[in-house]
Amino acid sequence: MDRAIPRKKRNPLLFGAILVVGSLFIALIIYYFATSNLGSPVLDKETLRIGEVKRGAFNVQVLGNGQIAAKDPDWIVARVQGQVVQAPVKAGQWVQKGELLLELSNDEVAAAFAKSQSDVQAAEADLALLKANLESRRTALKAAVIYARLDHKQVSARYDALSRLKQTSVIPIPELEYVNTKVSVEQAEGKLEVAQLELTSFKQIETAQTRAGEFRFAAVQQENERIKKQFADLHIRASRDGIVQNIHFNPGESVTTAAPIAQIVDPRSVYVTLTVPAIQATKLAPNQPVTLQINRKSIQGHVHRVDPNIKGSIVEVDVYFDADAPEDSKIGMYVTGTIYVQAIDNAIYVEIPSMVAENDNMSVYLLNNDGNLAQLTAVKSGALSAHFIQIIEGLNTGDQIVLSDIPDRQDTHTFRLH
């Protein structure tokens, strides 16, 4: 026959204590996991760029790349088409003003020039003949006036003598002779007047015909000068002393009108043209100091002009040297430049992190004191420089932040680092 085993009584105080301790233990475990970020993604610290927040003088800089260019280049263009006969000058040579750069041939221009020369000679001969004929006619009319004046004097003298004799002489003067002489005087006067009128009228005709002949000759000369210039333009010459650039022609090649032939520059008169990000164009202004790197040398200059037109994502900036250009600088040489926009004596700044904006509210991953945890922190940025950005709020000197771009972070606010 089975015997019943009696149960021990449960201590309610002990059970309550165990329950409280267990609850606290579970809460501690939950709190630990919640605060230890064990569920956060893990990143390799060695693969990240870490930047330290600093305080001090902060220079707002804009970086640009470019090349050395000539200030006042002379472009030589072909004014007439033709075929290259000789090209005695190559790129990089020093030339003097008037020196032959390229000789062209053009049969049509040569034939037109020869014909024009003949036309000038013919027009010159025609003008000389016209002037000779007019001179001969003027001489004949002058002679006619002289003869008419002499006839008038002669007849007048006879008429005066007959008039005196008629009044004083006892010998009667035939009336018919006296009347005929008087009529002859009147006829002589008429002839003299007509001769003088013809001479006067001829002078006007002579002036008009001479002007017309000279005008025709000038027109032929003008056409000759035009064709002569075309003919001379077959010999393309240097417009100034300097170095020839961009000339690439060989005998036999064809050249069209207005085609660029060469560029002549003064190697001592140069400047630098830089291209900088267009987003920083509003910061740029004339006379801002610039440090240029040319052949590993630092050369000082200043902003001369900022192109008002944005070209895609860049803007062009012209920089002039403060002193003479380096002797070893060459036109077309690659140059880097740093433009100094603004200087802030005491600022908090850090290297530029990814996804940054100037004068804006943004978020960065701030490392804890142990450097094993990065938490998303809101900051306010200030001025943006070439390599650094000013921090207005949210970070302190000595803080470390993640500069690298963290892909696929989505809404993750915390990362563990190892």
- Report if residue 32 sits inside a domain: no
Residues 60, 188: one domain?
A: no
Residue finishing a domain among 229, 247, 275: 229
Residues 162, 175: one domain?
A: yes
Look-up: residue for tokens 């009584």? 9
pLDDT for res 34? 47
Domain encompassing residue 348: 42-69+267-417
Residues 340 and 24: their CA atoms lie apart, in Å, by 62
Residues 356 and 8: their CA atoms lie apart, in Å, by 71
- Report if residue 335 sits inside a domain: yes
Residues 146, 166: one domain?
A: yes
pLDDT for res 172? 67
- Report if residue 27 sits inside a domain: no
Residues 379, 273: one domain?
A: yes
The CATH number of the domain where 99 resides is what? 2.40.50.100
Residues 184, 54: one domain?
A: no
3-state secondary structure of 391: strand
- Report if residue 33 sits inside a domain: no
- Report if residue 406 sits inside a domain: yes
Residue finishing a domain among 249, 265, 281: 265
Residues 308, 341: one domain?
A: yes
Residues 198, 278: one domain?
A: no
Residues 49, 79: one domain?
A: no
pLDDT along the chain (418 residues), means of 10: 52 61 60 52 84 92 93 92 94 93 95 95 94 92 90 85 73 73 85 89 91 94 95 95 91 92 90 92 93 92 94 94 87 93 91 84 89 90 89 92 77 80
Residues 321, 350: one domain?
A: yes
Cβ proximity of 64 and 337 under 8 Å: yes
Residues 115 and 11: their CA atoms lie apart, in Å, by 138
Phi/psi of residue 270, nearest 5 degrees? -135, 165
Residues 42 and 374: their CA atoms lie apart, in Å, by 10
Residues 258, 273: one domain?
A: no
Residues 208, 244: one domain?
A: no
The CATH number of the domain where 396 resides is what? 2.40.30.170
Residues 129, 216: one domain?
A: yes
Could you give the angle at which helices 175-232 and 107-168 cross, rounded to 10 degrees? Answer: 170
Residues 68 and 141: their CA atoms lie apart, in Å, by 78
- Report if residue 133 sits inside a domain: yes
Two structure tokens written together for 25: 């233990």
Tell me how many domains the chain contains.
3
Residues 77 and 390: their CA atoms lie apart, in Å, by 52
- Report if residue 25 sits inside a domain: no
User: Nearest CA to 321 among 281, 275, 283, 268?
Assistant: 268
pLDDT for res 1? 44
Residues 365 and 401: their CA atoms lie apart, in Å, by 5
pLDDT for res 33? 47
- Report if residue 37 sits inside a domain: no
Residues 351 and 50: their CA atoms lie apart, in Å, by 9
Return the DSSP state at 239.
S
